[in-house]
Structure 1
Amino acid sequence: MLKILFICTHNRCRSILAEAIARHVSEGALEVRSAGSQPAGQVFPGTLRYLESQGMSVDGLQSQSWDELESFAPDIVITVCDSAAGEACPLWMGDTARVHWGLPDPSKQPDETLQQEMFGQLGQMMEQRLRLLAEAPLETLRDRDSLESVVGQLLTSGRAS
């Protein structure tokens, strides 16, 4: 089973959203976690509202440090915010495959209606990418370059190959 770690600096919105959507769409085909280098300590309430409105489980979602996941040993790390993409990853990640999906941050939108619209757009795009990822034959792609290539293609072509 492919292990994916989603990283966003504060691990309160986009990485949590990615974790929940990946669990939902993969139906157990992917093992996913999320974390941050400077976790906020709580999940953004708008993220939980959006997930619940879509019928997705919020059980076990928490804002946590990537240091807590050292034993998780992900096959691939996907950064979802630009600041996290620029950070030096912990040594325990070693030569893990890494891909950056720069995503807008709905938590920055002060108007709750517009914020939930942003969550809807972001959630739909993430769901499409993560469904393709869950369906891709990634278990045969165990080297870093192949994983990065396939997951990176989801950004540009919208499909896994």
Structure 2
Amino acid sequence: MKSVLVLCTGNSCRSIIAEALINTLAEEKYIAKSAGSEPVGTVHPKSIEILKEHGINTKNLRSKSWDEFQDMHFDVVISVCDRNDSKTCPIFFGKHKKLNWNTPDPDKTEGTREEINTAFTKTFIFLKGKIEGELL
């Protein structure tokens, strides 16, 4: 079983969704954790909602700092930050395969409830496609 760390800045949306998807879609091959360089401390309710809509387990998901994993080895580290964002993508040093999946932050979407829901759905679909295409 290979270990995966999914990183973003806040660890409330993108990395949380990716962690849950990897642990569900690739449970025979990978075990995933997620973290943020500046964790907000809570998982976005829409992240939980979109995962539950697709039958993905959300039980142990929590927003956490990458400091929690600084002494651990990971086989793969995936950054899901948005390169178009003003914040710098977190870099986790060590000997591991590095992937960068440029993912817009659905939490930054402004607009109607429908537009926000659409942003989270797009994030879910994008990350699911990346996992299926690059990890499975």
Give me the TM-score of the superposition, normalised by structure 2.
0.86
Aligned residue-pair number: 131
Matched, 1:130 2:134: no
Higher helix share: 1
Give the match for residue 4 of structure 1: 4
Cα distance, 1:73 vs. partner? 1.2
- Check 1:64–1:84 CA distance in 2 against 1; reply closer, same or farther (3 A cut): farther
- Report the Cα distance in structure 2 between the residues aligned to 1:26 and 1:88, rounded to whole angstroms: 24
Give the match for residue 118 of structure 1: 119
Task: Provide, for residues 48-73 of structure 1, a one-character-per-residue CA deviation record: whole Å limited to 9, x for no partner.
Answer: 11111111111110100111113431
- Report the Cα distance in structure 1 between the residues aligned to 2:117 and 2:59, rounded to whole angstroms: 20
Cα distance, 1:88 vs. partner? 4.6
- Report the Cα distance in structure 2 between the residues aligned to 1:24 and 1:112, rounded to whole angstroms: 27
Where do 4+ consecutive residues of structure 1 move more than 3 Å? none
- Report the Cα distance in structure 2 between the residues aligned to 1:108 and 1:130, rounded to whole angstroms: 23
From the CA coordinates, give the structure whose radius of gyration is larger. 1
- Check 1:46–1:88 CA distance in 2 against 1; reply closer, same or farther (3 A cut): same
- Report the Cα distance in structure 2 between the residues aligned to 1:67 and 1:84, rounded to whole angstroms: 17
Equivalences for 1:56-95 in 2 at 5 Å?
A: 56-81=56-81, 82=83, 83-85=87-89, 87-89=90-92, 93-95=93-95
- Report the Cα distance in structure 2 between the residues aligned to 1:84 and 1:77, rounded to whole angstroms: 16
- Report the Cα distance in structure 2 between the residues aligned to 1:45 and 1:123, rounded to whole angstroms: 14
- Check 1:125–1:88 CA distance in 2 against 1; reply closer, same or farther (3 A cut): closer
Task: Provide, for residues 19-39 of structure 1, a one-character-per-residue CA deviation record: whole Å limited to 9, x for no partner.
Answer: 011111113321100001111
- Report the Cα distance in structure 2 between the residues aligned to 1:47 and 1:32, rounded to whole angstroms: 16
Instruction: Give unpaired runs (5+ residues) of structure 1.
Output: 136-161
Cα distance, 1:84 vs. partner? 4.7
- Report the Cα distance in structure 1 between the residues aligned to 2:113 and 2:74, rounded to whole angstroms: 34
Give me the TM-score of the superposition, normalised by structure 1.
0.74
Give the match for residue 43 of structure 1: 43
Matched, 1:19 2:19: yes
**Identity across aligned pairs (percent)?**
31
Q: CA RMSD in A?
A: 1.7
Cα distance, 1:97 vs. partner? 2.5
- Report the Cα distance in structure 2 between the residues aligned to 1:118 and 1:72, rounded to whole angstroms: 33
CA contact (8 A) 1:25 1:134 kept: no
CA contact (8 A) 1:37 1:84 kept: no
Instruction: Give unpaired runs (5+ residues) of structure 2.
Output: none
